[in-house]
Amino acid sequence: MVGRCGRRTGSEPLGLEMGGPTGPSFIDGNQEHMELSIPAVLKAFATAGSAVRELSSWRARARGAERALIGELRDNLHYLDMIADDGISLDQVVGKISLDEYKKLSNSGFDFNSLKKKRIGDDASLAGTDLAVWQGKETAALIESIYEKLNELRIKYPLVGDSRKYRWGVRVNNIRKRIWLLLRHVREK
């Protein structure tokens, strides 16, 4: 079993299994099997490191407050990818997930729609997925949702991390998919 600090405690099963784009990975001692369903339009971001590279490229083009926010998103995605792809325990990274830049910009009245003025475009491969609801919504709504979900992880996991009902692997992957959707949206012409 993998203990709360990510170390195996014996010969028990490894634990919470998440199907990542590169194979299964483990979060903690609760076993959960799930298949990661990725819409075709987002598959380019699901391969190891491609979304992080895309965030780095976007950050290089950005200036000022946008640059800091994109850097924070990139770092947070690194942590989520380590959980999903590398078998790092959520225990080991939950405290490292940062919301500082987002909170600072949000409190100062920053217009998150300035990252991409257009609404999120439609794509047939999103139909019937959990991401379909984001078609036609503003960039700000997606960014706010990503950070709300990251904040939920930071608040809830230390207190109820052992509860199976929260399906931590599913939550981690859902945040990753929303970040991939943001990248696809920003990349669109």
| Residue range 35-53, pLDDT digits in tens | 566 666 566 666 667 788 8
What is the domain partition of the chain in residue ranges?
38-187
DSSP string, 36-52: ----GGGHHHHSTTHHH
pTM: 0.78
CA distances to 6, 146, 163 from 142, in Å: 31, 6, 27
Please check whether residue 97 is in contact with residue 176, taking contact to mean a CB–CB distance below 8 angstroms: no
How high is the mean pLDDT of the chain?
A: 80
Task: Check: CB of residue 1 under 8 Å from CB of residue 13.
Answer: yes
Which phi and psi (to 5°) does residue 20 adopt? -95, 175
Q: What is the pLDDT confidence band of residue 125, given thresholds at 50, 70 and 90?
A: confident
d(CA 74, CA 135): 23
Smallest CA-to-CA distance from 16 within 149, 173, 129 is with: 173
Residue 94: predicted pLDDT: 96
Please check whether residue 162 is in contact with residue 29, taking contact to mean a CB–CB distance below 8 angstroms: yes
Q: How many CB atoms lie within 10 A of CB 14?
A: 16
Q: Could you read off the pLDDT of 50-106 as tens digits, one per residue?
A: 788 888 888 899 999 999 999 999 999 999 999 988 899 999 999 999 999 999 999
